[in-house]
């Protein structure tokens, strides 16, 4: 926040008496000494002595500026982590001031205030007043940073402020971790953090005083509406989160099933490939070394039985002739029935034969 001369006199010197050389007025802040926890001047290493004395510093700043609307300083208000003690918070502020101001040639006037007796007991905060002009040896530089347009100046100031916020989040979290606390500082907006809730409005001292008296204020009503809407969003987000987790669990089960089916298909494909490979190898071995099977045996020549049949018939005829020469003649009437039996006997013994081989008598049949 830019600070002009009258405003600067109200914001510096808390808890002390300060004499304004330009106006000849004395400003007494001793009544507010109870809320002042720390005050100090941070200047570059080679700064002159007057830069480390509060009264001399601000009198010198006002004397150097000639324009009646000149901006003497910029003010930064820092909400300090309530987990830290006063000394721990002071060291964090000191590191932030040195990194962003004194190492760049700027002077910073720092005060740390205690929480208000009627307010939030965690509201320990710091006021940092930074002189707009840099030191050049023992005096301020003659020119300030200039911009061609107000748009360029506004964009540059926003970028600088965002960098300062990021720097405080980094340094504050480092000190929280150093003393065993969780790093909870985040310089980003709620939207950038992914939080779907509306930020409340800064009430200021007037609205805060009205609320402390138990009366509703306009800003207080707005903040209460925002808080109620945020609470409703938290409930809705919790339900939505539970639904997303259920859907994620269901998707996980479906993914497991699909993965199992994929593994099974890969196993079947691999088995088919192995079977085809085995079949190909078997076919190659059969082609190289043919094997005789039942259906493809080499034809063999059937045995010749005609000569055996003829020898058997000749032996039978010779035997019949010998029998006929020794046996008495018999009537033709008795040879009718046994002849047929003898013929059947020879058909059984010798197999089918031609009529000329058939024996004419039944001597063998009768003698058996």
User: pLDDT per residue over 154-179, tens digit each?
Assistant: 999 999 999 999 999 999 999 999 99
User: Within its chain, how far is the Cα of 357 from the centroid?
Assistant: 106
For the segment 193-201, the average pLDDT, to the nearest whole number, is 84
Query: 19 pairs with which residues across the strands?
Result: 26
Residue 241 and residue 144 share a domain: no
Contact 100, 172 (CB under 8 A): no
Examine residue 296 and state whether it is found in any structural domain, yes or no. Answer: no
Q: What pLDDT does 171 receive?
A: 97
Examine residue 336 and state whether it is found in any structural domain, yes or no. Answer: yes
* Pairing of the two strands 25-28 and 135-136: unpaired
Q: Domain ends where: 125, 153, 187?
A: 187
Instruction: Report how far residue 338's alpha carbon sits from residue 214's, in angstroms, rounded to the nearest whole number.
Output: 152
Which single residue is written with the structure tokens 């001292």?
205
User: pLDDT per residue over 276-290, tens digit each?
Assistant: 888 888 887 777 665
Residue 157 and residue 227 share a domain: no
Examine residue 275 and state whether it is found in any structural domain, yes or no. Answer: no
Contact 130, 106 (CB under 8 A): yes
Q: Name the most confidently modeled range: 16-20, 51-55, 330-334, 346-350.
A: 51-55
Residue 227 and residue 167 share a domain: no
* Between 248 and 102, residue with greater pLDDT: 102
For the segment 45-67, the average pLDDT, to the nearest whole number, is 92
- Range with lowest mean pLDDT among 16-20, 130-134, 289-293: 289-293
Residue 160 and residue 16 share a domain: yes
Residue 57 and residue 142 share a domain: yes
Contact 132, 71 (CB under 8 A): yes
Predicted confidence (pLDDT) at residue 135 exceeds the cutoff of 60: yes
* Between 174 and 115, residue with greater pLDDT: 174
* Between 67 and 5, residue with greater pLDDT: 67
Predicted confidence (pLDDT) at residue 365 exceeds the cutoff of 50: no
Task: Name the token pair of 190.
Answer: 């709620």
Q: What pLDDT does 58 receive?
A: 93
Predicted confidence (pLDDT) at residue 313 exceeds the cutoff of 80: no
Q: What pLDDT does 160 receive?
A: 93
Residue 107 and residue 50 share a domain: yes
Q: What pLDDT does 310 receive?
A: 59
Range of 231's domain?
205-266
Instruction: Report how far residue 93's alpha carbon sits from residue 171's, in angstroms, rounded to the nearest whole number.
Output: 9
Examine residue 199 and state whether it is found in any structural domain, yes or no. Answer: no
For the segment 133-159, the average pLDDT, to the nearest whole number, is 90
Residue 349 pLDDT level (bands cut at 50, 70, 90): very low
CB atoms within 10 A of CB 171: 21
Task: Give the Å distances, CA to CA, from 127 to 39, 91, 363.
Answer: 9, 14, 156
Instruction: Report how far residue 178's alpha carbon sits from residue 171's, in angstroms, rounded to the nearest whole number.
Output: 11
Q: Per the structure, how many domains does the chain have?
A: 3
- Range with lowest mean pLDDT among 77-81, 89-93, 256-260, 297-301: 297-301
Q: What pLDDT does 246 receive?
A: 78
Predicted confidence (pLDDT) at residue 360 exceeds the cutoff of 50: no
Examine residue 242 and state whether it is found in any structural domain, yes or no. Answer: yes
User: pLDDT per residue over 82-110, tens digit each?
Assistant: 999 999 999 999 999 999 999 999 999 99
Predicted confidence (pLDDT) at residue 319 exceeds the cutoff of 50: yes
Which CATH number do you get for residue 12? Answer: 3.30.930.30
What pTM does this model have? 0.59
Residue 103 and residue 20 share a domain: yes
């Amino acid at each position: 926040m830019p600070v002009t001369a009258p405003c600067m006199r109200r914001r510096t010197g808390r808890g002390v008496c300060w004499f304004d050389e330009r106006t000849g007025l004395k400003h007494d802040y001793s009544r507010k000494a109870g809320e002042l926890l720390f005050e100090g001047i941070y200047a570059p290493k080679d700064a002159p002595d007057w830069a480390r004395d509060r009264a001399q510093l601000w009198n010198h700043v006002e004397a150097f500026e000639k324009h009646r609307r000149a901006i003497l300083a910029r003010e930064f208000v820092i909400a300090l982590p309530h987990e830290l003690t006063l000394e721990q918070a002071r060291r964090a502020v000191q590191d932030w001031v040195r990194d962003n101001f004194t190492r760049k040639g700027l002077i910073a006037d720092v005060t740390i205030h205690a929480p208000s007796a009627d307010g939030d007991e965690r509201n320990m905060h710091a006021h940092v007043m930074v002189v707009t002009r840099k030191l050049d040896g023992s005096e301020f530089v003659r020119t300030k940073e200039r911009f061609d347009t107000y748009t360029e100046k506004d964009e540059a100031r926003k970028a600088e402020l965002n960098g300062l916020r990021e720097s405080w989040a980094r340094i504050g979290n480092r000190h929280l971790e150093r003393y065993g606390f969780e790093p909870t500082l985040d310089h980003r907006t709620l939207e950038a953090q992914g939080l779907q809730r509306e930020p409340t409005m800064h009430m200021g001292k007037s609205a805060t005083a009205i609320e402390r008296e138990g009366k509703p204020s306009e800003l207080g009503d707005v903040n209460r509406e925002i808080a109620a809407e945020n609470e409703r969003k938290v409930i809705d987000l919790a339900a939505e989160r539970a639904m997303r987790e259920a859907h994620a669990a269901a998707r996980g089960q479906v993914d497991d099933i699909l993965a199992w089916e994929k593994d099974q298909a890969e196993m079947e494909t691999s088995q088919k490939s192995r079977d085809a490979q085995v079949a190909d190898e078997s076919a190659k071995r059969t082609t190289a070394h043919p094997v005789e099977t039942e259906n493809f045996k080499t034809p063999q020549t059937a045995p010749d039985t005609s000569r055996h049949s003829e020898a058997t018939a000749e032996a039978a005829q010779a035997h019949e002739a010998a029998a006929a020469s020794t046996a008495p003649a018999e009537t033709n009437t008795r040879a009718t029935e046994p002849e047929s039996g003898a013929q059947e006997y020879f058909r059984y013994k010798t197999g089918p034969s031609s009529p000329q081989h058939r024996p004419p008598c039944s001597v063998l049949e009768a003698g058996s």
